[in-house]
Amino acid sequence: MNKRWSMPKLSLVIIAIAFLWIKTFIAYHASFNISTDNFMQDLILFINPLSFLLLIFGVGLLFKKEKTRNNYVIITSFVLTAILFANMVFYRFFNDFITLPVLFQTSNFGDLGGSAVENIYMTDALYFVDVLILIVLAKYKPSFMVFKEPTKVNRRAYFLVAIATFFLNLGLAETERPQLLTRTFDREMLVKNIGTYNYHIYDVYLQSKQSAQRALADSDALVDVNNYVQANKADVNNEMHGIGEGKNLIVVKLESMQNFVINNEMNGEVITPFLNSLTEDESTVYMDNFYHQTEQGKTSDSEFLLDNSLYPLGRGAVFFTHSGNEFNTLTDSLNEAGYYTNAMHANNKSFWNRDIVYDNFGYDRYYSLSDYTVEEGQAVNWGMKDIPFFEQSVEHMKEMEQPFYSKMITLTNHHPFYLDEEDKFINEFDSNSGTLNRYFQTVRYQDEAIKEFFTYLKEAGLYEDSVIVMYGDHYGISENHNVAMAQYLEQEEITAFDSAQLQRVPMFIHIPGEDIGETNSKLAGQIDLKPTIQSIMGIEGSNSIQFGQDIFSEENDNTVILRDGRVISENLVYAGETCWDKESGEPVEKEDCQPLIDKATEELAFNDEIIYGDLLRFYDNESGRLLEDTTVTEE
């Protein structure tokens, strides 16, 4: 009775787990902005880091020597903190989580410097403080801690708790989100349910599985895919067919330009005066309901969509992961029609692996940074400013044999959206987001650059005989800036419905001398570019395996699937696990969107089979038949 109760002593393992558990949970809310809708989701989010942390730190309990155990705990804590920190920085920039294929894109890292630094905060150093505390505790061994080797009974009990926690987490996640690991394209949903660290383990599993798909694939795998594609083709039947036949084709990718800036103002200042004028031009079709469909590959994804009318991958970038696949590209079809095909981008030729991919896609020439002269004051953000880029590019065009196809990639309107004073044609916005504030200025500069580009083409005598297609390659303002976007749009908040609508990017088809002017509000996406351009240029492409449709076809199904599984139709939008009425922007029964969800799931799955299995090597694009005597069902 005289014995006093004393608090059990803590081990270094338990303290390390507690530290990482707490800061991971903080990161979920402070950096990843993960939201929950009910108590079950709150519970899952709270416990999901724990099972992995128990298991990974538990390995340290197997070491007999105290010093080895302590070193293992400290090193593991540092590595896991570094992984968490890397995801935080990546998320601030891309609004996404790191995948294994992204880590293989090392040739891009050197060009990411400015954007990466922009997303690292001084306060991030606090995430590493616990590692220093662990080092101090291991060295000075305070009395409230125990450092002796655990008994076999304690170890067994520990791992039973760890395993039970893992299955509890998985069970709750499966209850809350059925078929979580088999039917989701949303990485945030995975992190929300199984945790950051378990997500990375799952990502490694996916990478291993997908790496084996090509070796196991054969032509039979293409039968169902081809039947689906043939059944969903839209016949060419419109007044735009062949209107650009024999003309030069110039495709301009408008870096980071979203559609909300077109015909709009910022604090009373017009954002895109020249592009606004094109929306009223008698020789221009302006698509105001056109969506980007990129994922982690961003600009390279938009290029992949243009050339192949296939979706990008949900993880990494096809330009890196499957650069050697067999593809049937827009560029190939233009080559066959007698065009001199080239890409123009004043950046390092290896960025996004372009020097390898462009050769595989069939481009005759890649005009990269070495083909441009960048004088003092002519570079900002990620490279050469757009106005001198256009000026020098037109000089290259003047030397080309006609007809030519030039794909041009702009750079100035790129995160972190800085400009030199002489290039600022409007003032900054006044929100709490420096990124959004500066964005309007770089968009305005990009608009001015396009105006100058048209002038250069006219002066060079190339304008009248060219088809000019321009489109936004991906969003510029991620969901991380929703508060500032709500301020600009004068809304209380940005809902999942609003966010889906903000994925619209401008698309212009400008054919001088042709009376085609209109604002076309048909639903379309980047996947529709290839068949649309082929139709305009009078090029046959009906046998290609592709998921896009000619925008101007009367048979176009007016449905857009985003790479993350969001779907937009004429009347409904599926986003944020919710079905929305498109006209009112209000939620409706999820069952109303089920046909759209099923279509997206099937189409994206077929798409991934093509890429992971390199299935187009089994397909004859000219005849529209599968190789190796495999029968194709025509529908």
Active-site annotation, residues: 299
DSSP secondary structure, 183-242, as one string: S---HHHHHHHH-HHHHHHHHHHHHHHHHTHHHH--TTHHHHHHHHHHHT-----STTTT
* Residue among 227, 163, 191 nearest 33 (CA): 191
- Count CB-CB contacts under 10 A for residue 376: 5
Would you give the DSSP letter of residue 400? S
* Residue among 582, 10, 529 nearest 305 (CA): 529
Would you give the DSSP letter of residue 282? T
Mapped onto helix, strand or coil, the DSSP state of residue 87 is helix
In this structure, are strands 404-409 and 248-254 parallel, antiparallel, or unpaired?
Answer: parallel
DSSP secondary structure, 512-580, as one string: TT----EEE---EEGGGHHHHHHHHTT---TTS--S---TT-TT----EE-TTS-EE-SSEEEETTEEE
Tokens of 555: 């048979």
Residue count of the chain: 635
- 626, β-bridge pairs: 619
Cα three-residue angle 148-154-155, rounded to 5 degrees: 90
On whether the CB atoms of residues 202 and 190 are closer than 8 A, the answer is yes
- The span from the CA of 322 to the CA of 338, in Å, is 28
Mapped onto helix, strand or coil, the DSSP state of residue 339 is coil
- The span from the CA of 129 to the CA of 148, in Å, is 25
- The span from the CA of 25 to the CA of 29, in Å, is 7
Mapped onto helix, strand or coil, the DSSP state of residue 258 is coil
- Count CB-CB contacts under 10 A for residue 413: 26
Tokens of 221: 């795998």
> For the stretch 264-302, what's the b/e string if a residue is b when 16 or more beta carbons lie within 10 angstroms of its beta carbon?
eebeeebbbebbbebbebeebbbbebbbbbbbbbbbbbb
